[in-house]
């Protein structure tokens, strides 16, 4: 059975490793088919593709787009995209746009609870300043000794109702699916178990997603608890959505699952890669 990992992050967004280092790690971990899916950014894809080619690792160009739907932040993964597509490129540029001022607002909230210097501190940890995000703030708070780990930071900071949470308007669902499709890619709902949807909301969301041409859903992801693998496998079988698998790896010391280390997709699903030339 192929080891397919279609979700991870490099230092071009909020991952720790370079695209080339991720390719090497995927290969070493036995991954056969690998996608890089940085948040709202395509700049790591050419380095990733070259590194994968040298390693004889099948590469899939990807992206993870931040959207706002019903006042929730949702992530849509695009797989098999052409990163030179102008619709996708311009769309993502606009999505990246508000991150700096949001970062200043996050820092102001942290300063108000006695943590100064977070904007500069987080920015220094962001290899791509255009992608300054909550993960960089979380790493800064670890560095500053506020909490021992990034996971602990996200329990007390940067999330709704806690200091350092700044609501943000990302792309729309319609834009994200349209950009992915115009770039020749396949749209996949990332880690559906993380949004706090009830059954009705999930159904409404999926119905809109499919009406726009969205096709897939992540079932086995490092962002799900194991019980959610079965829950979303059942959902994919029921709805006929294509099933995806990806570690959502961000870095060796931060992620619960390394590249290629998740269990396989449960049986009875149509994988998102079912019609790819592998």
Nearer to Mn ion, 112 or 260 (CB): 260
The residue count for binding Mn ion (CB under 5 A) is: 5
Nearer to ligand AMP, 189 or 233 (CB): 189
Nearer to Mn ion, 29 or 111 (CB): 29
Query: Taking CB under 5 A as the rule, does residue 248 contact Mn ion?
Result: yes
Nearer to ligand AMP, 23 or 74 (CB): 74
CA dihedral (14, 15, 16, 21) positive or negative: negative
Residue 44 Cβ vs ligand AMP, minimum distance, rounded to whole Å? 15
Contacts 24+ apart (CB under 8 A), 192-200: 192/217, 192/218, 192/232, 192/235, 193/223, 193/224, 193/225, 193/228, 193/231, 193/232, 194/223, 194/224, 195/72, 195/74, 196/72
HEC secondary structure over 79-117: ECCCCCCHHHHHHHHHHHCCHHHHHHHHHHHHHHCCCCC
Nearer to ligand AMP, 57 or 153 (CB): 153
Of residues 154, 179, 209, 249, which one binds ligand AMP by CB under 6 A?
A: 154
What residues between 63 and 82 interact with ligand AMP by CB under 6 A? 66
The DSSP bridge partners found for residue 82 are: none
Residue 63 Cβ vs ligand AMP, minimum distance, rounded to whole Å? 13
Candidates 64, 69, 128, 72; CA nearest to 99 is 128
Residue 77 Cβ vs Mn ion, minimum distance, rounded to whole Å? 8
Query: Taking CB under 5 A as the rule, does residue 75 contact Mn ion?
Result: yes
Q: Are strands 242-246 and 58-69 parallel, antiparallel or unpaired?
A: unpaired
Binding-site string for Mn ion from residue 102 to residue 131, where x marks contact by CB under 5 A and - marks none: ------------------------------
Residue 75 Cβ vs Mn ion, minimum distance, rounded to whole Å? 4
């Amino acid at each position: 059975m192929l080891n397919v990992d279609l979700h991870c992050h490099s230092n071009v967004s909020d991952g720790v490793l370079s695209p080339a280092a991720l390719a090497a790690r995927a290969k070493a971990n036995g991954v056969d088919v690998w996608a890089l899916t940085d948040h709202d950014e395509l700049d790591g894809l050419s380095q990733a593709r070259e590194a994968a080619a040298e390693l004889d690792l099948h590469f899939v160009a990807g992206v993870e787009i931040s959207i706002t739907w019903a006042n929730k932040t949702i992530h849509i993964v695009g797989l098999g995209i052409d990163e030179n597509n102008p619709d996708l490129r311009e769309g993502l540029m606009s999505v990246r746009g508000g991150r700096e001022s949001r970062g200043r607002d996050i820092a102001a909230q942290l300063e108000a609870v006695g943590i100064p210097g977070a904007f500069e501190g987080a920015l220094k940890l962001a290899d791509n300043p255009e992608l300054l995000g909550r993960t960089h703030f979380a790493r800064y708070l670890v560095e500053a000794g506020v909490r021992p780990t990034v996971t602990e930071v996200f329990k007390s900071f940067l999330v709704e109702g806690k200091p350092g949470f700044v609501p943000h308007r990302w792309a729309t669902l319609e834009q994200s699916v349209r950009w992915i499709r115009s770039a020749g890619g396949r749209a996949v709902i990332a880690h559906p178990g993380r949004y706090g949807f009830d059954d009705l909301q999930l159904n409404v969301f999926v119905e809109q997603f499919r009406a726009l041409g969205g096709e897939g859903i992540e079932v086995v992801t490092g962002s799900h608890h194991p019980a959610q693998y079965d829950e979303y496998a059942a959902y994919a079988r029921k709805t006929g959505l294509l099933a995806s698998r990806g570690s959502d790896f961000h870095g060796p010391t931060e992620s619960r699952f390394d590249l290629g280390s998740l269990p396989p997709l449960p049986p009875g699903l149509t994988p998102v890669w079912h019609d790819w030339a592998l």
